[in-house]
């Protein structure tokens, strides 16, 4: 999904949406992005994220077996990584649903920080 505010555009993708990473890289201008549970097991997604010149926030869970979350790989692609310990591909964690609700709040806080510090004030 492309989000535009004024003259600023940002790409947001969840899981299969991360297949748009090559498109974002090919638009002719690099776009900042927020990638939730990116498919790091797809080399063309990884290669596209590696080429990004604008900030990219990668969010994944250590128990994600669908997207192939690899902490070291994620950190090699971007300094902006938020990892959910024991989070699955839906960013759900074991235990009561309240635990996953807390995680969602933490994810939203990280997205808010990224937008405030890296996209809208750090835009270049």
CA distance 60 to 122: 23
Quote the domain boundaries for residue 20: 2-120
Question: What residues have CB less than 8 Å from 17, skipping those under 6 apart?
Answer: 1, 35, 36
* CATH number for position 84: 3.40.50.1820
Span 81-98, pLDDT tens digits? 999 999 999 999 999 999
As for how many domains the chain has, the answer is 1
Both tokens of 37, joined, read 């549970």
Across 9-13, 64-68, 81-85, which has the greatest mean pLDDT? 81-85
pTM, two decimals, is 0.88
């Amino acid at each position: 999904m492309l989000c535009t505010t004024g003259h600023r555009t940002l790409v947001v993708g969840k899981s299969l949406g991360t297949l748009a990473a090559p498109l974002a890289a090919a638009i002719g201008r690099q776009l900042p992005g927020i990638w939730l549970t990116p498919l790091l097991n797809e080399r063309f997604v990884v290669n596209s994220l590696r080429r990004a010149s604008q900030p990219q926030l990668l969010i994944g869970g250590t128990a994600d077996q669908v997207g192939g979350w690899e902490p070291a790989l994620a950190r090699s692609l971007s300094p902006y990584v938020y990892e959910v310990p024991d989070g699955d591909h839906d960013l759900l964690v074991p235990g009561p649903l309240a635990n996953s609700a807390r995680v969602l709040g933490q994810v939203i806080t990280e997205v808010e920080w990224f937008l405030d510090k890296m996209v809208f004030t750090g835009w270049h």
